[in-house]
Chain A
Amino acid sequence: MQSESLDLDRVRADFPILRRRVNGKRLVYLDNAATSQKPKQVIESLNEFYSNYNANVHRSAHRLGEEATEAYELAREKVARFVGSPTEQVVFTRGTTESINLVRFAWGERFVRRGDTVVTTLMEHHSNIVPWQLLARRKGASLKFVGLEPGGTLDVGSLERLLKEAPSLVAVTQCSNVLGTVNDVAKLCAISRKAGAATVVDAAQSVPHMPVDFSQIGCDFLAFSGHKMLGPTGIGALVARKELLEEMDPFHGGGEMIREVFPDHSTWNDVPFKFEAGTANIADAVGLGAAVDYLRSLGMDAVREHEVGLLRYAVESLSRVKGLRMYGPANPERRGGVLAFNLADIHAHDLSTILDEDGIAIRAGHHCAQPLMEWLGVAATARASFYIYNSNDDVDALVAGLEKARRIFKV
């Protein structure tokens, strides 16, 4: 069943790319966890910015400068409201990776000490592992991993044991980009903060797909990317508690982030501008604002409901493909719209090549989650990931493609 509250035909009509053909076939785009497609409202917002009011922000006392500043700050307000945060707690970044690295440098350099423990989990994307490895190595801290239950959920007991070491930081994803596992980050952050840890939530796979509320989660830092939520590439956000942003050192030094500069020292601008050195990615921030408008017009409950419906249909359909193994929690209500799988002895890349011939785009590989692949005991998986414009027809096309792969590989 598809959601009744989301008008699929209308949504699909908003995405120009869905009209193109790949290898003569209708495009079946199932690589949304990598990046989403863009509705014409977002594409037009970029065109409109560059055509009508392109100027630098916060410094030009002319008409275009004022309009650009207003649009840029309006985009910040939209993003803040979308994730339940006060506006001044939203720092624009290039995306999730930069957001997490901002925390690693601006917070970690100051507050992590030799001998500290930093905690992440086995289901993280590399962008929520590698920055902490680098931080731990530089500071002489140790990085420890929360393990997983056999079904692909977090082993909360192993987090509780690590919390006894009073870690300085706990970094966890809200939704795994491979298993789809949705973690109860409000609970995880509550116990971590009680143990004295700062908390970082990687929301790259959750903010685009389900209602997310920064204050309800109760974390210190929340990171996400615009391009996975209908927005342009190169823009994302770090949402952080204001007290922390004020205590932290700057990330990059340069223009915009300063209050006053003297030859021997400088003072910093107010938050969040203290963390936005240089000319911002103004146009793409405006584009992200348009993406947020679009998602709000659909309603995030409807988005989530649509994806749960697709996921349920996909799990049901794929389980009928002989030799197919799916990874992650079985219950669609407890997972995001990503579905990782392998088919018999066919390598995921070969599957991807065969599906591509029929215009079906999936991801194949380690999904930037090698520790998780190791835990799963596989070198790679195929992954189909859904969004608002996908339909049960797309799932049917995927299943037909997989059956074709079985014929070609004679399995």
Chain B
Amino acid sequence: MSAADIYKELILDYYRNPRNFGKLERFDISAHDTNPLCGDEVDMQVRVGDGNRIEEIKFSGKGCAISQASASMLTELAKGKELGWVKTLSKDDVFKMLGNPELGPSRIKCALLGMKVLKMGVYGYLGAKQENPED
């Protein structure tokens, strides 16, 4: 797979026009993390509605196209889902969402940063113990 395949229209579009970017005025969940290797940052905020559903979700941050597009796409995917769904999210779900780009080990962390932050927040909210935030 070539770099041109990684940076497809989809990822570039979400990088330049991130959906659900910003901050919520009222939220129940807020989490933040950085990738210390490269300084990518993602914040996630969630408002929880009836039936533990994700009523509103926004992200903010800065970093590479992969980390920011991935976080943005994840917010779209998560909206309306039950919090339990977040716990079942896997790496492969995120890779699939991104169109299965072939990423080296250093870039996989970028792709998974949004999921890691969302999981941190949701696990904290549910008071559940998280085994491994990147799984």
Contacts and interface: CB of A to CB of B under 8 A. Distances in A.
Contact of B3 (A345, A379, A380, A408): A408
Interface in B72-100: none
A347 B3 contact: no
Interface string A367-411: 000100100000110000000000000000000000010001110
Contact of B38 (A345, A346, A364, A410): A364
A349 B110 contact: yes
Interface in B21-52: 37-41
B38 A349 contact: yes
Nearest to A401: B3
A349 B4 contact: no
A118 to B, nearest CB: 25
A350 B65 CA distance: 7
A353 B110 CA distance: 12
Contact of A349 (B12, B16, B64): B64
Specify which of B4, B7, B40 lies most central, judged by the most chain A CB atoms within 10 Å of its CB.
B7
A364 to B, nearest CB: 7
Contacts of A353: 3, 6, 104, 107
A350 B37 contact: no
B132 interface: no
A372 B81 CA distance: 42
A112 to B, nearest CB: 29
A145 to B, nearest CB: 20
Nearest to A347: B64
Nearest to B39: A366
A353 B3 CA distance: 7
Given A349-B38, A409-B12, A354 B3 contact: yes
A370 B34 CA distance: 13
Contacts of A70: none
A365 B7 contact: no
User: Chain A contact residues (Cβ within 8 angstroms of B): what range?
Assistant: 20 to 34
Interface in B45-67: 62-66
Contacts of A357: 2-3
Contacts of A373: 39
A366 B12 CA distance: 23
Interface in A11-26: none
Given A380-B38, A409-B7, A347 B63 contact: yes
A349 B3 contact: no
A410 B107 contact: no
B12 A379 contact: no
Interface string A89-105: 00000000000000000
Contact of A379 (B37, B39, B66, B107): B39
A345 B12 CA distance: 11
A353 B2 CA distance: 10
A114 to B, nearest CB: 32
B37 to A, nearest CB: 7
A409 B4 CA distance: 9
B66 A350 contact: yes
A187 B61 CA distance: 42
A347 to B, nearest CB: 4
A53 to B, nearest CB: 39
A404 B62 CA distance: 23
Contacts of B107: 349, 353
Given A345-B16, A349-B64, A353-B107, A380 B2 contact: no
Nearest to A358: B3
A40 B117 CA distance: 46
A350 B4 CA distance: 11
Contacts of B3: 353-354, 357, 404, 408
A345 B110 CA distance: 17
A350 B104 CA distance: 12
A77 B126 CA distance: 63
Interface in A123-153: none
A349 B63 CA distance: 8
B62 A350 contact: no
Specify which of B38, B39, B104 lies most central, judged by the most chain A CB atoms within 10 Å of its CB.
B39
B2 A350 contact: no
A408 B39 contact: no
A158 B107 CA distance: 40
Given A357-B2, A379-B62, A380-B63, 16 more contacts: A347-B63, A347-B64, A349-B38, A349-B63, A349-B64, A349-B66, A349-B110, A350-B7, A350-B64, A350-B65, A353-B104, A356-B104, A380-B38, A408-B7, A409-B12, A409-B65
27 contacts: A345-B16, A346-B65, A347-B63, A348-B64, A349-B38, A349-B63, A349-B64, A349-B107, A350-B7, A350-B64, A353-B6, A353-B104, A354-B3, A354-B7, A356-B104, A357-B3, A365-B37, A366-B39, A380-B38, A380-B39, A380-B63, A404-B3, A408-B3, A408-B4, A408-B7, A409-B7, A410-B12
Give the top 10 A-B pairs by smallest Cβ distance, nearest first: A347-B64, A349-B64, A354-B3, A357-B3, A365-B38, A366-B39, A350-B64, A379-B62, A350-B65, A408-B7
